[in-house]
Structure 1
């Protein structure tokens, strides 16, 4: 069934306010710009954003900045039962041990919830689960996040990859290929592309591995552009995606590339320039710049008020921002404001319909390739990059990757 819009790899595998990393003092800037912190009282309600803000990985400052901006707006509106929200941004440095340190800090500090864009979920999620602290809004990138009853994702990397197949089919493509990062997780994830192709009676005609540290993509590009390939799903990190898109453009490729929208910020599109034109982005929310949707207009207004650059906004930032507002609404009704109570409330809420997040029911997971994973939505939205701007496709309608309808 089509889901019309009303009113959030990190990459496909797995994104200005003062940001505070673990090991430093906890941020108290959640009320910055709101001017209402003096009217709030009581013990602060602590929330954490786990991100790689330094180290060898790509960094996405827009996601924690969106959490900060949402918390500032909540505080301006009176906080949660008069208590202020306090945000800590914990830098996991792309290091599993640092990710575990972040979770330990959250457990010791009795944080209400964590939202994350991190590759270290297998280390932090067991610690959060033991402490009964939910991780909310993240795109799962680890087995622990896909299994833990304290994981509440509003999207899925697997579904975004499958959505690349849906995009190819909806656009009438006939010869799809997939470029995958040449590690076990990447090779295994490539099969999700076929899920989105299946309703169109299409299959993956070409799989091209890309070494995660490759700098010369000439051979891979030549393989991808050979024959009649007309659509390419990119199952690689953003650094390699940028290199590959530039190489495809230089090779004169006419094939339509598709990629997960979660952490695609405008600064990346500016780096790509004309090479970004025609790129189809797949995400669990409508485009983060579509201010015709009231909730997304509010998102942009709150980030503007917080001084967050438009260059670092993304669908992942939109999801993180909306997650804070959703939790604030639920927390207002909790008899005890703690992680366990919040997790129970989300688990028993039935269908949650909170624009711009996708509709989910956290008591009902959806089978994609196998049972048991915490995937709660298989709906995706599409946008196409035109002259550096996200342009909604298909009238901003969401489609189910399992059925294409």
Structure 2
């Protein structure tokens, strides 16, 4: 190398080294967990199935977008814009995995208020990138086992234990109609734990094919001799209304019906005739208070002001409600960081070590410290063990009790082999 060229080469190497140093100090926006400047948006993702032939949850991404407008209209996250990226999970394992990879490439610091049954497809990607999954719907088992998951409800186990306890006050005999599947197999134990806590025996287990179009034979079996104080709880997701239609046609005199939120909701009550339909008087257990409860007033105001008439959002839908609570948790954790960088790593650390986040009374205070986790083998990430007891009265789901009901002891008892 000549003396004339050497200074140029040295200058180029120095410039490259300086750029690398700046990159290391400033961080890379595409890497989850890396710090970013205070002027960049805080990016999160919400996914759910939309436009499918199965159970669509379009209200969840719609609620996320309305929430982001509300946050940004009120100063953002410590002065930074909250940017919500949505993804259509499509009820498909490949699409769910694709959404997770997109969360990584978009630089999302969390996936918030989302729905997917395909935990095996999306959770490993989030775990590898260190991205927390805050407030999943509670449908995938990985939501309650992965250290990257921060569920805001107790999933199906809490609903079933609560439903058993709710029915124990009035029902001497209970039949559970549930899917003949791996997901359905634990259901009888949780329902029976609630019945036992109320001084009743175990539930009769009636398994059905999840994709059946007629449940007449199973309804006959559930009704049995139609004795007084007999009850049937049907937990079949979107197929629950098919079972209730078969049940209605048999016209039992004494057997009462029940279910859990997610399998029954206000839209189903309305669709089947309201106060004049077969669900009048039905019992239901939910994660959260009924939609007419004043504790939902803030959500109702945000939807009215920032959703711009988006009819995908139903205030009574457990999916939209879960997204609202999940974003409440996320923004509380992000704002608690103050001047610290908002990254996947700092959000996870705040959730792991925080004293607890309030949700305006919609749930108990939520905290994911080790001491808060549930002592149930397959569901250790459950921290919210509260449910609500509801009944269909005059065509509306209404509260049977004002307070939340804690089913923690029942859940842990269901896991006890003794």
Normalising by structure 1, what TM-score? 0.82
Residue from 199, 202, 216 that aligns with 1:204? 202
Equivalent in the alignment of 1:271: 271
Alpha-carbon distance change, 207 to 151 in structure 1, aligned in 2, over 3 angstroms:
same
Deviation digits for residues 316-352 of structure 1, max 9, x if unmatched?
A: 3122112213322221232011111101101101333
Q: Give the whole-Å Cα distance in 2 for the aligned partners of 1:331 and 1:128.
A: 19
2:316 is the counterpart of 1:313? yes
Q: Offset of 1:67 from its aligned partner? A: 1.7
Which structure is higher in RCO with an 8 Å CA cutoff and minimum separation 6? 1
Equivalent in the alignment of 1:349: 354
2:171 is the counterpart of 1:173? yes
SS in 2 for 1:275: coil
Equivalent in the alignment of 2:181: 183
Equivalent in the alignment of 2:381: 374
Equivalent in the alignment of 1:55: 52
Q: Give the whole-Å Cα distance in 2 for the aligned partners of 1:280 and 1:389.
A: 11
Q: Offset of 1:403 from its aligned partner? A: 5.0
Structural mapping, 1:114-263, within 5 Å: 114=111, 115-155=113-153, 156-170=155-169, 172-227=170-225, 228=227, 230-238=230-238, 240-253=239-252, 254-262=254-262
Alpha-carbon distance change, 213 to 369 in structure 1, aligned in 2, over 3 angstroms:
same
Equivalent in the alignment of 1:399: 405
Q: Offset of 1:397 from its aligned partner? A: 1.5
Alpha-carbon distance change, 104 to 371 in structure 1, aligned in 2, over 3 angstroms:
closer
Equivalent in the alignment of 1:338: 343
Equivalent in the alignment of 1:31: none
Equivalent in the alignment of 2:82: 85
Equivalent in the alignment of 2:65: 68
Q: Give the whole-Å Cα distance in 2 for the aligned partners of 1:211 and 1:300.
A: 38
2:400 is the counterpart of 1:387? no
Contact 2:314 2:320 in 1 (8 A): no
Contact 1:51 1:117 in 2 (8 A): yes
Stretch of structure 1 that moved more, 353-362 or 367-376:
367-376
Q: Give the whole-Å Cα distance in 2 for the aligned partners of 1:205 and 1:389.
A: 27
Normalising by structure 2, what TM-score? 0.80
SS in 2 for 1:123: helix
Q: Offset of 1:223 from its aligned partner? A: 0.8
Q: Offset of 1:369 from its aligned partner? A: 4.5
SS in 2 for 1:119: coil
Stretch of structure 1 that moved more, 269-278 or 90-99:
269-278
**Unaligned segments of structure 1, at least 5 residues:** 1-40
Q: Offset of 1:177 from its aligned partner? A: 1.0
Q: Offset of 1:272 from its aligned partner? A: 1.8
Deviation digits for residues 232-285 of structure 1, max 9, x if unmatched?
A: 2222122x1011122222322443333232475533222222122123222222
Bigger-Rg structure (1/2): 2
SS in 2 for 1:168: helix
Q: Give the whole-Å Cα distance in 1 for the aligned partners of 2:236 and 2:264.
A: 13
Alpha-carbon distance change, 365 to 177 in structure 1, aligned in 2, over 3 angstroms:
farther
2:105 is the counterpart of 1:100? no
Stretch of structure 1 that moved more, 276-285 or 89-98:
276-285
Deviation digits for residues 26-45 of structure 1, max 9, x if unmatched?
A: xxxxxxxxxxxxxxx93222
Contact 2:223 2:232 in 1 (8 A): no
Equivalent in the alignment of 1:110: 107
Contact 1:361 1:376 in 2 (8 A): yes
Q: Give the whole-Å Cα distance in 2 for the aligned partners of 1:177 and 1:263.
A: 16
Alpha-carbon distance change, 385 to 60 in structure 1, aligned in 2, over 3 angstroms:
farther
Q: Give the whole-Å Cα distance in 1 for the aligned partners of 2:71 and 2:51.
A: 28
Alpha-carbon distance change, 259 to 308 in structure 1, aligned in 2, over 3 angstroms:
farther
Q: Offset of 1:202 from its aligned partner? A: 1.8
Alpha-carbon distance change, 179 to 131 in structure 1, aligned in 2, over 3 angstroms:
same
Alpha-carbon distance change, 79 to 323 in structure 1, aligned in 2, over 3 angstroms:
same
